[in-house]
Amino acid sequence: MTKPRIGIAGLGTMGLGIAQVFASAGFSVVATDAQALARENARDRMASALGKRVEAGKLSSQARDDTLSRLTIVAAPEDLTGSSLVIEAIIEDMVAKRALFAQIEPALSPEAVLATNTSSLPVGGVAQGLTRPGRLLALHFFNPAPAMKLVELAGHADTDGDAIALARRLTEAAGKTVIDCPDRPGFIVNRCARPYYGEALALQEEGRSPADIDAAMLAAGYRLGPFSLIDLVGADVNLAATRGMWTAMDGHPRYHVFDSLIRQVQSGALGRKAGRGFLFPDAPGAPPADAQAIVKRIESTLINEAGWLFAEGGVTPDGIDTAMRLGLNFPYGPFAALQRHGRDSVLETLAALETAAPAHLAGRYRPAPIVTGG
Ligand SMILES: NC(=O)c1ccc[n+]([C@@H]2O[C@H](COP(=O)([O-])OP(=O)(O)OC[C@H]3O[C@@H](n4cnc5c(N)ncnc54)[C@H](O)[C@@H]3O)[C@@H](O)[C@H]2O)c1
């Protein structure tokens, strides 16, 4: 049976990667971009990405050629006609995304699904103005899309159940693990990761060194410590994501933007791309004597954030754990961590943190119902 056609709008980092995911899995992919240059060199860019896999012995040259033969580049969004699923990966701008979907929708059948790859915009907002808003949902891929197994799927309040089912089926057929999540800021991973950085920055402001904090997390099985992760992604990118989440969550102290992160960005030591960061080019050394206490504190806040998300509905503990393992390479998810530490002990840690919290962080450590047993 011929596989349904997949449309892609936006051939930047994410769009090209998502196109490769579906073309590699045997789907015919039709793709477009507003920039002529991006359309013209898309095939070469995909060929180069696949070529690296051929050189590494992970892909045959026949499979590379077959994948490339399934890619068709078209001039305009209206040309994505015939697609069963269109995934948008253009700039992160609500007005631009709405305008794009308004152009695409009339070219598709009423059963087709429209998906946004937005990282931070409300899915319901992107659907506004469509004739069939029930056909729109979010499929949030991670970078690099071909390598990252996880895709977060979020419908908005009025997304049709069969649109969600079709998007899930096609994305799973392309080899991804699809986790349902609510239309909430940051979905699962970008939100539940906040305390990994935030609590590390809180510890740093209390006088602990990034090397000690990272070493403690490495000793617990995390592949990269919080500061090494910020150095990898860029302190400026981390600051923008933190500010975005703080704003989206109405300035709740759980998403506090720590001064040390702002100062780090102002200093220009943004991480790997700047040649120096919080820790880079150094590596963490041996874990400090109180490594377990550091891990307990950071994991307690990760558990609590996951607990608050769970309390809002639309996601399961298993879904959150899987998303955190696949999206961040965590050795285990927050609910598995809750099992390890035990509820009473996490509650005790959060209570001690809340008691010691300065005025501007009051309420930061208020325990979620799953932690209190409520
Ligand atoms: N980069 C990431 O790590 C990442 C991860 C997950 C989600 N996202 C989201 O994916 C989307 C794309 O991000 P990216 O990093 O690939 O961006 P990018 O800048 O690499 O690519 C965006 C592409 O979209 C094109 N474009 C812009 N406006 C367009 C329009 N109106 N119609 C058609 N094409 C248009 C641009 O020419 C560009 O080629 C954003 O919504 C972003 O938030 C990014």
Residue 157's pLDDT is: 96
* Residues 176, 108 share a domain: yes
If you search the block for the tokens 């300065």, which residue do you land on? 358
Report how far ligand 1's centroid is from the alpha carbon of 10 (Å): 6
Residue 346's pLDDT is: 98
pLDDT digits (tens, 9 = 90+) for 62-101: 999 999 999 999 999 999 999 999 999 999 999 999 999 9
Residue 2's pLDDT is: 82
Q: Which two tokens stand for residue 293?
A: 């206490």
pLDDT digits (tens, 9 = 90+) for 31-52: 999 999 999 999 999 999 999 9
Does residue 304 have an active-site annotation? no
* Residues 256, 283 share a domain: yes
Residues with Cβ within 8 Å of 151's Cβ and at least 6 positions away in sequence, in order, are 139, 140, 141, 142, 171, 176, 177, 178, 179
91, 93, 104, 118: residue to mutate for ligand 1 pocket, most atoms within 8 A of CB: 91
For the beta carbon of residue 298, count every other beta carbon within 10 angstroms.
26
Residue 368's pLDDT is: 98
Q: What angle do CA 334, 89, 70 make, to 5 degrees?
A: 110
Residue 76's pLDDT is: 97
Work out the pLDDT band at 15, boundaries 50, 70, 90. Answer: very high
* Residues 149, 206 share a domain: no
pLDDT digits (tens, 9 = 90+) for 295-353: 999 999 999 999 999 999 999 999 999 999 999 999 999 999 999 999 999 999 999 99
Q: What is the tally of structural domains in the chain?
A: 2
Q: Which of 196, 5, 213, 9 is closest to 98 using CA atoms?
A: 9
Does residue 329 have an active-site annotation? no
* Residues 198, 167 share a domain: no
User: What CATH number is given to the structural domain containing 86?
Assistant: 3.40.50.720
* Residues 314, 214 share a domain: yes
30, 33, 87, 95: residue to mutate for ligand 1 pocket, most atoms within 8 A of CB: 33
* Residues 150, 216 share a domain: no
pLDDT greater than 80 at residue 212 = yes
* Residues 204, 146 share a domain: no
pLDDT digits (tens, 9 = 90+) for 221-269: 999 999 999 999 999 999 999 999 999 999 999 999 999 999 999 999 9
Residue 111's pLDDT is: 97
* Residues 254, 217 share a domain: yes
pLDDT greater than 80 at residue 374 = no
Residue 179's pLDDT is: 98
User: What CATH number is given to the structural domain containing 275?
Assistant: 1.10.1040.50
Length of the chain equals 374
Report how far ligand 1's centroid is from the alpha carbon of 358 (Å): 39
For ligand 1, what atom is nearest to the CA of residue 141?
Answer: 6
The three-class DSSP label of residue 8 is strand
Report how far ligand 1's centroid is from the alpha carbon of 16 (Å): 10
Residues with Cβ within 8 Å of 353's Cβ and at least 6 positions away in sequence, in order, are 297, 300, 301, 364, 365
Q: Are 177 and 152 in contact (CB under 8 A)?
A: no
Residue 10's pLDDT is: 98
Final residue belonging to a domain, choices 158, 180, 202? 180
pLDDT greater than 90 at residue 142 = yes
Q: Which domain holds residue 168?
A: 5-180
Q: With pLDDT > 90 as the criterion, what percentage of the chain qualifies? A: 99
pLDDT greater than 90 at residue 29 = yes
Distances (CA, A) of 207 to 119, 203, 211: 33, 7, 12
Final residue belonging to a domain, choices 154, 180, 206? 180
* Residues 165, 265 share a domain: no
Q: Are 333 and 306 in contact (CB under 8 A)?
A: yes
Residue 270's pLDDT is: 98
pLDDT digits (tens, 9 = 90+) for 154-185: 999 999 999 999 999 999 999 999 999 999 99
* Residues 205, 151 share a domain: no
Does residue 152 have an active-site annotation? yes
Q: What angle do CA 18, 19, 23 make, to 5 degrees?
A: 120
pLDDT digits (tens, 9 = 90+) for 107-120: 999 999 999 999 99
For ligand 1, what atom is nearest to the CA of residue 14?
Answer: 16
Final residue belonging to a domain, choices 128, 162, 180? 180
* Residues 141, 290 share a domain: no
* Residues 201, 160 share a domain: no
> Which residues does ligand 1 sit against, CB inside 6 Å?
9-15, 33-35, 38, 89-92, 96, 100, 117-119, 141-143
